[in-house]
Structure 1
Amino acid sequence: MSTITTEELSATTLLRFATAGSVDDGKSTLVGRLLHDSKSVLADQLEAVEHASRNRGQEAPDLALLTDGLRAEREQGITIDVAYRYFATPRRRFILADTPGHVQYTRNMVTGASTAELTVILVDARNGVVEQTRRHAAIAALLRVPHVVLAVNKMDLVDYKEPVFAAIAKEFTAYATELGVPEVTAIPISALAGDNVVEPSATMDWYGGPTVLEHLETVPVSHDLSHCHARLPVQFVIRPQTAEHPDYRGYAGQIAAGSFHVGEAVTVLPSGRASRISGIELLGEPVDVAWTTQSVTLLLEDDIDISRGDLIVPSKDAPATTQDIEATVCHVADQALTVGHRVLLKHGTRTVKAIVKDIPSRLTLSDLSLHPHPGQLVANDIGRVKIRTAEPLPVDSYADSRRTGSFILIDPSDGTTLTAGMVGESFASPEPVKDESEDDGWDF
């Protein structure tokens, strides 16, 4: 196995990507092949896979076992949980989320793709584009994943025929374009044989594009979020109350977007109280500036009431607070989401009571039409919702910030995650829907 030096790693960029597809499309085999052929598998891992494969009566090592880590997954031959893998090449570092293909576990695909910059959607060349393919494309579009790779797998089972690949690529690209996916790259592969995964295929000389790994290594990725509005959801209020620092009060959290500077005027939401940053601490050391994804502690000039769940923002571009939220959601629970449903809404580090006031539409995956006023959303449905919260929230549009423009709905009785929501997102622009829900007696 080739080694990569610390200097080489520090000079490479990071790509977060997720895999998705229907059951038995070969996602785990593709990931295993990617890890194996890029020499990112340790000798003892490969030996364990070879041993497990022999125990199952297989002559060749089953590379899918490199990602199917749960015993239940290995026994059933399907991926159940999101399997995260970290690997690197001399050109780039990768965080990979191998998500389940079974429709029952679509919620896991939402989890895996929520932070991804690229999604690899697999299609079995024998079956073409199916409903689950459309669902995964819709979720990728909804989550604003900027790059989508269509991997047409099992080309060896259709004799590596170019017309088969071309027809699937054309159908999927047209569908994804309708959804608003900005970029689709189609690659014909055989994960089992290794064609066009890491090395170019000798049997598909009609294809002149990149292999999967080559595309992953070269696709442009920008982590520059300095243009975003700065946001710090407060996770902890630090008050050591020691003799050395009797008046110390710090507000700790991970910066969700943008950057903060010492001396900058800031506003705390939802209270609207204003102050100025007197200091920033990073890993216990003072710094003048901090930016996205860094976990920091802010010190303010004024002693104001701040608690977990508050949002610190620059005063010059503070978002408006609201109790009425309209969003597109992906419902992930077995329990249906209905009009009048009382829920908890978690936004950033704040959780508030809320009620579903209306469900204006549900997306029909087959033709992307909107079914008006369905009354409820069931597992794996994608639809529009109107929500009223008990307290005002400072929400951004999801188009402006994937972190502060998203939320989840939670069942208050048992803590089950019901729905993942994206503020302001929509696949279409239906006619405005009059809110006809009846007064439920709640005072918010």
Structure 2
Amino acid sequence: MRQFAEQFFKLQEKGASFKNECIAGLTTFAAMSYILVVNPNILAAGGMPIEGLITVTALAACFGTLMMALMTNYPVALAPGMGLNAFFAFTICIGRDIPWDAALGIVFYNGVLFVLLSLTGVRTKIADSIPQALKVGVQCGIGLFIAFIGLKNAGLIIDNSATLVSLGDLSEPSVMLALFGIVFTLILVVKRVTGAILISVVLLSIAGVFIMVSGQPLTATPDAIVGLPHSIGDTFFAMDLMYPLLNFAQTWDLIFALLFVNMFDTIGTLIGVSRKAKLLDSTGKLPKFGRAMTADAGASVVGAALGTSPVTSYVESAAGVSSGGKTGLTAVVVALCFLLSLFLTPVMEVIPLMATTPALVMVGIFMMESFRQLDFDDMTSMATATVAMIAMPLTFSISEGIAIGFIVYTGIKVGAGKFKEVSLLTYILAAVFLLRYIFGLT
């Protein structure tokens, strides 16, 4: 087995060792395993039956990661994406009042379209035609949106009829514990502790055993440590493929927004992790980039069939790369870890929502890092990114933030007489989004 792995993944040629690849895989899994707890909670908020979602998340991550490993031999792991799952639950299901099975149909079509664009190479032309300001604004906006959801879930932010939102009751033990968890997680991240988010989730869950809410402990005691995974019968191939087609006027922008976010999230992650792993060639390009994008897109199609939001490459893969991961064997180890984690379902099921708050806030902070890519001397870029970024959490919709961003960017450029700096695709999308608002097609 070991000899086959060394030959198949060309460990000696890549300057890698079997031991280091395994350690790197365990490191990456520790860094991203929080998704097993966070993703089911977010999808359940959109109306999906929560029983079985841990199984769905683990299987989708396992399959997607194996696809990446076998198609590219890169140490990149995949799982249902943060931001994409929030878009699924809060924008599609809650914001548009679309049933979750129909939302899975939207995810499926997004994945198929992503595959076609990846196979034909059209994705490169689309990526080049979207302004950098919008790419940055959308990524930062999604980060703020995810962090906002985390603070809301913990009760740190609550509704207020006069000011829209306000600070929650910090005298509540669960709220204070969540705040402590955020600070604690930040300290671990600053100190570069591997698996910082996972450690935080575990410790907050343990602390919840000793905190009483309405006479009950915040964290329930699991019936067992190890158990069989739940069935995915409720979500497996439950996607409604007709709804998006019959209601195309109301769903096209959601499919586009998913494609937009998924594509640029994947491109950014792949380039970032590959640069760290020294996989880029002398021209700064990633060999097998098309295969990597196809694997990512294919994983979303399979994820929709299993019953989850789009699957995408994880920036946490960089943790494994930093530990020496250089080949797809690292990804295979991650996939096996996700498979084995299914037998810890009884423990993961009792983790309280509050314990996931630091994970959401931390992911949001990581996504805000791209703001430094903006040209601060260019008011066009600054204004576009800022408006798109603020619009997402305040409208509680990623797609609306994207739409407003396109309109603002195009409007500023046209008003400043910089017509040639706007691509044809951007003009078209800005016009379509503007007409949608004018005629109330939301």
Same fold by TM (over 0.5)? no
| TM-score (normalised: structure 2) | 0.23
Larger strand share, 1 or 2:
1
Structure number with greater CO (CA < 8 Å, separation at least 6) is: 2
Larger helix share, 1 or 2:
2
